[in-house]
């Protein structure tokens, strides 16, 4: 397809979305299975939880409880295409390494366990028994358990995740990084310090009650489309929605509900964001500080004229700590500084404060635009500060709402997938299984990459995901990765992490969530936790993609039996035969959250984990909700370019509407008007003019940091876009080679993928390409 570039003027949802769903069902050659599966998507208990995003599923569910991208994810998994031993026989890995992400996954579902054969440079089929025994032997041969890493992408169920962490810990390591380390770990660090919980406080019930919504750095229409229904309902009650995003994301402007026949037929669409603020990349702390400053001014005025305070002074007095210091800091910021850093005018920030002050119950939603920065934790804490000023926490219709990424990434952390020992129920695990959890923290994603590059890590096992492609500094990581002794991919499709492999490399194909998982005791349930901390049971509905596929719990149990010393308290066979027994073990480790797990998971709508902050109980050091004064307004001070250098732009790496992380469904980003290619860089016209670039020029982007490592990606097509000057955008994962490993959130270590300083060099002028 010839690339095309044309601004998209339609709404999100609507016919474009319906067309896109039909298209992918056909492309995956799964029109029937896929369409049938969709009818059971997000149906509680006898249906499966969508494998795409982590947004909450309403109860009772809607007749068609899925969205465009959820449908794509289902089609991707229920595809009739198969990546068989015959495929591997035809292609050496040296050849496959030149294939695109799209072409690799388009081969379809993996069907056989495979082992890399050095002689022929191919993956050859291997029996499960052999593969598992060899992996066990390799692990046991390591000098030190900390030489192994047990990575998890966020899809695996609570049951599989719990077994995975038990395997790693009993083996002797807390090396359990997961995709959260690249995603919402900033949340997991920020929220406990501020309000004493590691997750968002908002439930769907709050969305039904709220009268104002703030959205920071989240591309809702592509990445959690079902959330648009909740926004639509709030707009129906006239609640203002204030969006802060450098890009004018079309889906946050207008939406047509594809499941509403009247809206579809009449072409009606609703305005999603009543106020759209194109904040500069990394300008959020300054923008929020400006709103707080304007709020204080409004409060001064109100008090001076004998009106009630604009702040919730009773809440601040009874429930918070640190307000005076925060107030002082905010008053001291100069408007000129706030304007320069946020890219917003003082008037815009004052306007936002006025709208905010007019709402009684406000929800603040955020995504990667806040978390993936050097000071991502500060970003989130600043947003909490704004909520605290008007008591918008621990009351109905209000709260903080991090929108998680993978469908069970929040749940994985809840059941022990974490490198941090402080978050592990060490004593309970000792009582349950008579072993000692290793005392040392394990590695995060960034630490793991450092360990691989330095040669400290020798074995890398992945429960899902595509680590090599998702992690930063690809050109440094890939050569180091292939020096590993052992790489094991438990996956559903072939991706780059299996092609850039260790000396001993295995692919272990597993069942996906849409598929029926039959074990000795019958068809199994599995459970997940969504972004609103709601835990529910699901069941696959589709026939497995191959007879040899095993479930994730079955694979983990087999690995455990081949690796760990016998322990009658860890009955891996019984766990695999009946996942209800795994849930009993989970309840034993986390009784406050999971007591009576097997019964409560079947309650209509599932159950919520208890969150103190929702009850205004603050499990923080101070016993109160903490106002946190930002150390700096500069969000990315480790890469801030010399202000004299006008040639450096701030690059954010983003997702298109046609991908799920490293899975590329297609080459269209409908809402952003890009068709047929992903090799683009979206820029402001003034920057193009200033840098002497024309639309259609092909450029190479290079990272503008001085650490002796050359990093560049290209060719990228210069494409004008509505984005603040000085900012530009290009797609992840292609641009991960530009992201230095050391450029990460200061405390949470999330790679700062939204702020990479780059310079552009023209490779081919547009005129020459004609």
What residues make contact with ligand MGD under the rule CB under 6 A? 52-53, 69, 105, 153, 155, 179, 182-183, 216-219, 222-224, 244-247, 249, 279, 281-282, 284, 367-369, 372, 405-406, 463-467, 470, 490-493, 495, 510, 512-513, 552, 652-655, 659-663, 732, 735-736, 739, 753-754
Judged by beta carbon, residue 310 or residue 555, the one nearer ligand MGD is 555
Minimum Å gap between C-beta 609 and ligand MGD is 20
The verdict on 465 binding Mo ion (CB under 5 A) reads no
What does 199 bind: ligand MGD, Mo ion, none (CB cut-off 5 to 8 Å by kind)? none
**Size of interface with Mo ion, in residues (CB under 5 A):** 2
Minimum Å gap between C-beta 405 and Mo ion is 2
Minimum Å gap between C-beta 655 and ligand MGD is 4
Judged by beta carbon, residue 230 or residue 284, the one nearer ligand MGD is 284
What is the rounded distance in angstroms from the CA atom of residue 168 to the CA atom of residue 152?
11
Minimum Å gap between C-beta 318 and ligand MGD is 31
* Residue 259: burial class (beta carbons within 10 Å; 0-12, 13-18, 19+): middle
Measured over the CA atoms of residue 318, residue 324, residue 325 and residue 326, the dihedral's sign is: positive
What is the rounded distance in angstroms from the CA atom of residue 227 to the CA atom of residue 231?
6
Per CB under 5 A, which region of 175-183, 292-300, 450-458, 756-764 contacts Mo ion? 175-183
Judged by beta carbon, residue 175 or residue 495, the one nearer ligand MGD is 495
Per CB under 5 A, which region of 21-29, 183-191, 724-732, 739-747 contacts Mo ion? 183-191
What is the rounded distance in angstroms from the CA atom of residue 246 to the CA atom of residue 498?
35
Judged by beta carbon, residue 219 or residue 626, the one nearer ligand MGD is 219
Judged by beta carbon, residue 429 or residue 651, the one nearer ligand MGD is 651
Contacts of 203 (CB under 8 A, 6+ apart): 56, 532, 533, 534, 608
Q: 682 pairs with which residues across the strands?
A: 719, 729
Note whether 66 and 101 are within 8 A (CB). Answer: no
In eight-state DSSP terms, residue 214 is E
Per CB under 5 A, which region of 49-57, 176-184, 208-216, 395-403 contacts Mo ion? 176-184
Minimum Å gap between C-beta 183 and Mo ion is 3
Minimum Å gap between C-beta 339 and ligand MGD is 16
Judged by beta carbon, residue 48 or residue 433, the one nearer ligand MGD is 48
Minimum Å gap between C-beta 12 and ligand MGD is 12
Minimum Å gap between C-beta 143 and ligand MGD is 27
Minimum Å gap between C-beta 179 and Mo ion is 5
Look at the chain and count its residues.
770
Tell me which residues in 388-427 interact with Mo ion (CB under 5 A).
405
Note whether 632 and 341 are within 8 A (CB). Answer: no
Judged by beta carbon, residue 524 or residue 662, the one nearer ligand MGD is 662
The one among 56, 83, 139, 183 contacting Mo ion by CB under 5 A? 183
Judged by beta carbon, residue 381 or residue 661, the one nearer Mo ion is 661
What does 258 bind: ligand MGD, Mo ion, none (CB cut-off 5 to 8 Å by kind)? none
Minimum Å gap between C-beta 483 and ligand MGD is 20
Instruction: Tell me whether the omega of the peptide bond preceding residue 60 falls within 30 degrees of 0, making it cis.
Output: yes
What does 316 bind: ligand MGD, Mo ion, none (CB cut-off 5 to 8 Å by kind)? none
What does 245 bind: Mo ion, ligand MGD, none (CB cut-off 5 to 8 Å by kind)? ligand MGD
Judged by beta carbon, residue 170 or residue 374, the one nearer ligand MGD is 374
Q: 53 pairs with which residues across the strands?
A: 406
Minimum Å gap between C-beta 511 and ligand MGD is 7
CA distances in angstroms from 119 to 116, 301, 378, 504, listed in the order given? 9, 79, 52, 12
Q: Which two tokens stand for residue 270?
A: 């609703």
Which runs of consecutive H residues, i.e. helices, occur in 514-637? 552-563, 572-577, 579-589, 591-594, 597-600
Minimum Å gap between C-beta 67 and ligand MGD is 9
What does 246 bind: ligand MGD, Mo ion, none (CB cut-off 5 to 8 Å by kind)? ligand MGD
What is the rounded distance in angstroms from the CA atom of residue 644 to the CA atom of residue 641?
8
Note whether 213 and 239 are within 8 A (CB). Answer: yes
- The DSSP H or E segment spanning 366 is strand 362-366
Note whether 276 and 270 are within 8 A (CB). Answer: no
Judged by beta carbon, residue 53 or residue 400, the one nearer Mo ion is 53
What does 249 bind: Mo ion, ligand MGD, none (CB cut-off 5 to 8 Å by kind)? ligand MGD
Q: Which residue is nearest to Mo ion (CB)?
A: 405
Contacts 24+ apart (CB under 8 A), 49-52: 49/407, 49/408, 49/513, 49/528, 49/530, 49/536, 49/538, 50/74, 50/407, 51/77, 51/155, 51/407, 51/512, 51/513, 51/514, 52/407, 52/660
Note whether 215 and 242 are within 8 A (CB). Answer: yes
How many helical (H) and strand (E) elements, i.e. helices and strands, does the chain have? 33, 33
Q: 536 pairs with which residues across the strands?
A: 528
Judged by beta carbon, residue 224 or residue 492, the one nearer Mo ion is 224
Interaction site with Mo ion (CB under 5 A): 183, 405
């Amino acid at each position: 397809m010839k690339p095309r570039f044309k601004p998209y003027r339609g709404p999100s949802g609507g016919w474009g979305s319906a067309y896109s769903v039909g298209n992918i069902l056909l492309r995956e050659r799964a029109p029937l299975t896929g369409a049938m599966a969709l009818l059971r998507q997000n149906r509680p208990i006898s249906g499966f939880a969508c494998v795409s995003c982590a947004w909450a599923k309403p109860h009772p569910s809607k007749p068609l409880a899925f969205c465009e991208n959820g449908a794509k994810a289902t089609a991707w998994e229920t595809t009739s295409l198969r990546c068989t031993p015959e495929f591997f026989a035809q292609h050496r890995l040296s050849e496959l390494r030149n294939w695109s992400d799209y072409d690799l996954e388009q081969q379809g579902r993996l069907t056989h366990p495979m082992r890399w054969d050095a002689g022929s440079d191919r993956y050859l089929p291997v029996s499960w028994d052999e593969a598992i025994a060899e992996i066990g032997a390799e692990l046991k041969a390591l000098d030190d358990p900390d030489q192994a890493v047990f990575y998890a992408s966020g899809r695996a169920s609570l049951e599989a995740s719990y077994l995975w962490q038990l395997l790693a810990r009993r083996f002797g390591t807390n090396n359990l990084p997961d995709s959260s380390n690249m995603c919402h770990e900033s949340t997991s660090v920020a929220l406990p310090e501020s309000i004493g919980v590691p997750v968002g406080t908002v439930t769907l019930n709050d969305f039904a009650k709220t009268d104002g919504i703030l959205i920071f750095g989240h591309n809702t229409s592509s990445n959690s489309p079902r959330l648009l229904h909740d926004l639509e309902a709030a707009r129906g009650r006239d609640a203002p929605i204030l969006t802060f995003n450098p890009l004018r994301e079309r889906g946050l402007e207008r939406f047509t509900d594809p499941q509403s026949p009247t809206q579809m037929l009449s072409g009606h669409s609703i305005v999603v964001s009543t106020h759209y603020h194109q904040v500069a990349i990394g300008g959020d702390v300054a923008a929020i500080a400006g709103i707080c400053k304007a709020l204080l001014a409004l409060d001064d005025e109100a008090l001076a004229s004998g009106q009630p305070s604009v702040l919730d002074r009773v809440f601040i007095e009874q429930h918070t700590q640190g307000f005076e210091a925060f107030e002082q800091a905010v008053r001291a910021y100069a408007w000129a500084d706030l304007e320069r850093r946020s890219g917003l005018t003082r008037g815009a920030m004052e306007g936002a404060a006025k709208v905010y002050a007019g709402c009684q119950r406000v929800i603040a939603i955020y995504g990667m635009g806040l978390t993936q920065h050097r000071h991502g934790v500060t970003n989130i804490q600043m947003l909490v500060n704004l909520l605290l000023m008007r008591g918008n926490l621990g009351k109905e219709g209000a709260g903080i709402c991090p929108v998680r990424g993978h469908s069970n990434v929040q749940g994985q952390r809840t059941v022990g997938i974490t490198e941090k020992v402080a978050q592990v129920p060490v004593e309970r695990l000792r009582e349950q299984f008579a072993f000692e959890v290793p005392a040392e923290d394990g590695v995060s994603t960034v630490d793991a990459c450092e360990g691989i590059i330095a040669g400290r890590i020798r074995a890398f096992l992945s429960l899902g995901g595509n680590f090599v492609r998702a992690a930063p500094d690809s050109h440094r990581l890939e050569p180091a990765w292939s020096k590993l002794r052992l790489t094991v991919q438990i996956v559903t499709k072939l991706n780059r992490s299996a092609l850039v492999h260790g000396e001993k490399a295995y692919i272990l194909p597993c069942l996906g969530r849409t598929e029926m998982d039959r074990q000795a005791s019958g068809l199994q349930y599995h459970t997940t936790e969504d972004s609103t901390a709601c835990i529910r049971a699901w069941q696959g509905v589709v026939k497995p993609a191959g007879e040899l596929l095993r479930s994730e719990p079955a694979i983990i149990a087999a690995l455990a039996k081949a690796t760990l010393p016998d322990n009658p308290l860890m009955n891996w066979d019984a766990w695999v035969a009946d996942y209800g027994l795994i849930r009993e073990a989970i309840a034993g480790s986390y009784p406050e959250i999971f007591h009576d797990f097997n019964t409560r998971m079947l309650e209509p709508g599932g159950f919520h984990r208890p969150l103190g902050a929702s009850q205004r109980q603050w499990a923080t050091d101070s016993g109160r909700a903490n106002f946190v004064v930002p150390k700096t307004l500069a969000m990315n001070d480790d890469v801030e370019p010399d202000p004299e250098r006008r040639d450096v732009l701030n690059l954010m790496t983003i997702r298109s509407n046609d991908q799920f992380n490293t899975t590329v469904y297609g080459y269209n980003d409908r809402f952003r008007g890009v068709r047929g290619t992903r090799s683009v860089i979206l820029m402001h016209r003034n920057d193009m003019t200033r840098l002497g670039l024309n639309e259609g020029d092909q450029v190479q982007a290079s990272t503008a940091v001085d650490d002796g490592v050359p990093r560049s990606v290209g060719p990228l097509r210069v494409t004008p876009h509505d984005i603040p000057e000085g900012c530009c955008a290009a797609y992840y994962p292609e641009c991960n080679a530009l992201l230095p490993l050391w450029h990460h959130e200061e405390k949470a270590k999330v790679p700062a993928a939204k702020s990479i300083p780059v310079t552009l060099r023209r490779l081919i002028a547009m005129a020459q390409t004609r």
